[in-house]
A and B are shown apart, each in its own frame.
Chain A
């Protein structure tokens, strides 16, 4: 058993055991409260730049399979758990989580008091941290940690977006959608396809002109990592699409869309990461249990356009969870209707996007 250490920028230190790859990992330490879905979490590009702590203590129980990937590889910088299961038990399991992480060079630590860590993050806010299996010296690790960049102002989408456009599904569908890949999850693509869309995934740096040239029925703005405030080059392109094509944004896509509508974002103390947040649809007053994964949030008051309407609100902390434009064909949500992992209550939003595209198409 090889030792590993996790240290936060405030000096909080946890000693544990290494699993996955050996090495050092730097990132913003966040906690995720989902009890299942570690495979999806690890492969969600939104976790680029972050070290993920699972609050559920027993991780790896069902191994890793070939189907439940949210992208081609894990993106989280590091992984922190209480107890990593050495065996896995599930009829779809293909390898253990430890093997998977080792193969993809992800540094991980187990045997630590993840609840103490979570409480620390809740009370002090998200912090930078470092996991190391090589250097076990507190001072030197702390120095490395403090020298690393924070999350604010950081553009991470360039590191996760696809280098070239690609298509999801080949068969002809009723709608053609262009998806901006800011760190897109496969499940968004799966659900778009299931809802009747052929999807062309484009790099994050694609221009509005190029998008419109493809004559899509709608444009999907994906989730992704980092600070939306650092993405003015994307926001500017999205501004050019407002009203010209139906838009549906999720998570970072929602933040970018809000920025394009003149809004601003701010950093949450410790973010929302989990699968149990209640969100109310203000139009139907119904509550859906949602998958969440974001560290930044849209400030509704910063949007001066009176046509922009708050549609969804988080019942935990009353933060903005969704908005739409009264006149323009666009809506977006902060949470993850595509789930993967998490509850599927909000899956209907894909249907809403289809409806919007249908109406827009008819009007033309």
Chain B
């Protein structure tokens, strides 16, 4: 069937900001969908609030709305654009939820919009537990026994019949938020209360526990003619009980016979038909009882997903792209397989390698968070690795994680335990309770002689996986105890051991092993990912390394540029850097370079096989990157776009003779090295907060007393403010120094004077060595002390005077000239009393590059890549700073709802997972949109609870007054109430939390509070404050923790009261920019 001619305009809903369970895989999918639909001649209308996405680049849609992804906004866009169809299956759970909401409101009917791909009925059938259960039972599929409940009383009755442990799954939430497994009644009560609240429809499913069963997923696609194909099977290493997003997963399934696999395949096909997903992709999850093979259906996601992105990368089959084409009427047999060209997309990929995905966690950023893994997802990213064996892929995956592991390293040190019994007890605990390091503890359990059968009974992990790990550990012992020989080294490489790992096992240096490998003729070979296990010729150069006899890379004699990606997403390094890498690839292709992408993050656009001329899906380590460089011999390598990961490789790459293009490694070093940097500033007569570096506590003490407390301390060479802290006294300083040495190793600790109450400013600029252009000056909304990645920012600045801005401009250009910047540079400033202080300079792409690019309508990363390849800004026609007349606000999004009980206070350690952008004609409205987009729905009426520290009491009065003037009721406790009353305000006084009820917590729970302004009372937040803030988060009450944030919010509320928010395309904003 050819494509549909009756629809012309298609709306796509994006997934919004990066949050836990919804990351850049939806940019990957959405970008593919936009491209596919435009290719077919459809007009694409896109809404997504996330500026760091490729899909929101103006050329990917005909009308791009960087607006909050909410039903109200989507309705406005529909009313304005009048699309014929809505494709809701590309934007994750957010996309589905919003689409269902507008459908329910009758908006689609009113404007005659058809849902394509999956319609409302299919989505509801898959998402609504009851409907789903009925549908599956109807076609004879087995399910875990379950009961739906809407109240605590119903829940208690249900658990009596199901027994414990029991699984609690709230309906209609993201990534299993608020779900869990209750092993006892106390846990049960807690999880039920949380679950009922999290559910959009206050409904929770209680389910027979299948914990410890084997877990599988199938990625299924269907077309209009009812052709159904399976793209990939995935087997979870971690059995049922751990969210699949937090599990190590393996493709294809390893331990199913063909009969069992075909039973599962048949069940999935029947299920997609019954659910009624007309076209597109579906993810189907199964559990199998390892004792008797009983197979039960767990769930179906009628949309593209994290797993579909993984399956696409694992097989080379572009699920989202094909799903988009199917949605407009094509059938699978009509679409060619891009990789083989001659065969159609209507087939089932077969692979001849093993793929392992490993989640990346960041519990270290959330002290006090529960690091046990369960049914609510907690990981923030993932790495994927490809090898010819599970062992090889697993080790490659582990070293891809960027957690300072070079493979399946040991984590237990014998000397930390008095007795062997204690040691084994420790390991046993780590095996029983799933946690982020369990894989390493399995290795250690084997090293310390725990029998495999015991590990299996503690973890319920399949014996096949454990045996493979044992092979690795057994070989480790051989390596340790034998003389290094060629055969042994080769075997080690085949088992996925990195040079570094071999070196540490054999007491030698990484470089020695690398040269020994070279001398022994052990060469890395690269194999193709081709969807067909070599049955057909493949044209798409998508490679992975292994140690075999044949290498398939065709090295071309062209000007080649290798772009180093950012590795797995984690807090501090996310989609923004991938965005820059993708842009570089596009730009360099435009000017005729061959582009070679290296990355190991399966969620990204950079690892889409058609983003670059060649893709190497490899760990971002020195060894793996140098191997590729040796193979390809690129003209240049770009390290400045992928964040800190490639920056950290700069020096070793240069040492190996690789040509780093753009700003020189020497300049990068000047910026990263405090002493050299200080000298440069002195030379330029620029100001820096007083500072020093220290390697020991004594040195640190001396620096701190010289520059006086409070001081900002941090390890050098880290991103995302890892372990960064504001320190007010010596005791805290000592604790910090101990912690920092763990994070940063041999690098020194940096100590700066902390400028309290300063305004921070971020500047992004671009240069070609001759021309220096400021791209964007972003004023932070929160005051100094909050990590720039967590701050809200506005472009252009809204409160800074022109003279300060000029000083900032001049300083920026002066430093760029001195550093001979070629490419991008980011500077962070603090402004206090009209003095400008330089906090740090990063001669590389910053997190704000995509945001600035969208705010000013100039693709900065593209320009940067071209400049690095030798072009001049003059020729690229970007020589003047652009100051838009509209206001763009960047707001950060936090994962606090995943970590109940963790304080939501912001600080110098970055904790946000993603960002949104709000654009409008004035600051207030743009800020309002940014809050809406971030899920912080600011009220326009109701009660505001105010509790601020003494220091802020003066500033809060004006804010409270304004709120009171526009009709808010003011609620406060003790001191704050007194201060407000003194200024003539009508205040309702509440008891403090420890004074008993009813207090603010009761008011929040009862829905009597609509907004909270709560600034921390001191360095160590009081327990009741933490309770207030986390209760607010759990109940969805917006909570503002800074005075400047409160001011901005009041601006926003006032603007909204004046006029309802409108929607406008990015393309229209860009047209209004003077160039």
Q: Which residues of A contact B (CB under 8 A)?
A: 14, 31, 33-37, 39-40, 55-58, 61-62, 65, 67-68, 82-83, 85-92, 113-116, 118-119, 122, 274-278, 280, 285-287, 289, 315-316, 339-344
Contact = CB atoms under 8 A, between A and B. Distances in A.
Contact of B527 (A86, A115, A343): A115
Contacts of B548: 113, 115-116
Contacts of A339: 262
Contacts of A31: 533-535
Interface in B884-908: none
Contacts of B463: 87, 89
A340 B258 contact: yes
Contacts of B266: 344
B348 interface: yes
Nearest to B227: A287
Interface string B251-284: 0111111111110011000000000000000000
Mostly helix, strand, loop or mixed at chain B's interface? loop
B140 to A, nearest CB: 15
Nearest to A187: B259
A35 B549 contact: no
Nearest to B226: A286
B351 A56 contact: yes
A51 B529 CA distance: 25
Contacts of A56: 252, 350-352, 533
B952 interface: no
Contact of A61 (B254, B293, B351): B254
A35 B464 contact: no
A287 B346 contact: yes
Mostly helix, strand, loop or mixed at chain A's interface? loop
B225 A285 contact: yes
A324 B747 CA distance: 77
B511 to A, nearest CB: 28
Given A118-B534, A342-B258, A57 B354 contact: yes
A289 B348 contact: yes
B697 interface: no
Q: 7 closest pairs, A vs B, by CB?
A: A37-B258, A116-B550, A341-B258, A55-B533, A89-B464, A276-B348, A36-B258
B1062 interface: no
B467 interface: yes
Nearest to A315: B344
B534 A68 contact: no
A58 B389 contact: yes
Contacts of A122: 534-537
B390 interface: yes
B347 A91 contact: no
Contact of B229 (A83, A118, A289): A289
Interface string B539-559: 000000000111010000000
A291 to B, nearest CB: 9
B535 A37 contact: no
A341 B263 CA distance: 12
A342 B262 contact: yes
Given A89-B462, A274-B535, A39 B257 contact: yes
B343 interface: yes
B265 A62 contact: no
B9 interface: no
A266 B318 CA distance: 35
A119 B534 contact: yes
A121 B536 CA distance: 11
Contact of A85 (B293, B349, B464, B533): B464
A14 B550 CA distance: 11
A115 B255 contact: no
B311 to A, nearest CB: 14
Contacts of A33: 350, 352, 532-533, 535
A339 B259 CA distance: 10
B348 A315 contact: no
Most buried by B among A14, A36, A56, A280: A36
A270 to B, nearest CB: 8
B227 A286 contact: yes
Given A57-B352, A280-B333, A286-B227, A115 B534 contact: yes
Nearest to A339: B262
Contacts of B722: none
A100 to B, nearest CB: 13
Contact of B255 (A89, A118, A274, A316): A89
B464 A315 contact: no
B290 interface: yes
A250 to B, nearest CB: 18
Nearest to B551: A116
A13 to B, nearest CB: 10
B350 A35 contact: yes
B554 to A, nearest CB: 13
Contacts of B253: 36
Contacts of B258: 34, 36-37, 39-40, 68, 340-342
A33 B532 CA distance: 8
Contacts of A289: 229-230, 347-348
A241 to B, nearest CB: 32
A88 B352 CA distance: 20
Contacts of A34: 258, 350
A91 B290 contact: yes
Nearest to A316: B343
Contacts of B354: 57-58
Contacts of A278: 333, 344, 346-347
A58 B467 contact: no
B292 interface: yes
Given A58-B390, A285-B225, A118 B257 contact: no
A285 B333 CA distance: 10
A55 B227 contact: no
Interface string B222-260: 000111011001000000000000000000111111111
A289 B254 CA distance: 21
A122 B266 CA distance: 31
B353 interface: yes
Nearest to B262: A344
Contacts of A286: 225-227
Contacts of B313: none
B549 A113 contact: yes
Given A65-B257, A89-B462, A343-B265, 10 more contacts: A33-B535, A36-B258, A36-B261, A55-B533, A87-B467, A89-B467, A118-B533, A274-B533, A316-B536, A339-B262
Contacts of B348: 275-276, 289, 343
B500 interface: no
A209 B255 CA distance: 48
Contacts of B254: 58, 61
Contacts of A36: 253, 256-258, 261
A156 B390 CA distance: 38
A238 to B, nearest CB: 31
A315 B335 CA distance: 12
A92 B255 contact: no
Contacts of B536: 122, 316
A65 B550 CA distance: 35
Interface in B318-345: 332-333, 342-344
A116 B352 CA distance: 11
Contacts of B388: 57, 82-83, 115
16 contacts: A34-B258, A56-B350, A56-B533, A65-B257, A89-B463, A89-B467, A90-B256, A91-B290, A115-B352, A118-B533, A119-B550, A122-B534, A316-B343, A316-B347, A316-B536, A341-B262
Interface string B919-932: 00000000000000
A87 B259 CA distance: 20
Contacts of A35: 233, 252, 350-351
Nearest to A15: B549
B415 interface: no
A58 to B, nearest CB: 6
B353 A68 contact: no
B257 A68 contact: yes
A282 B353 CA distance: 34
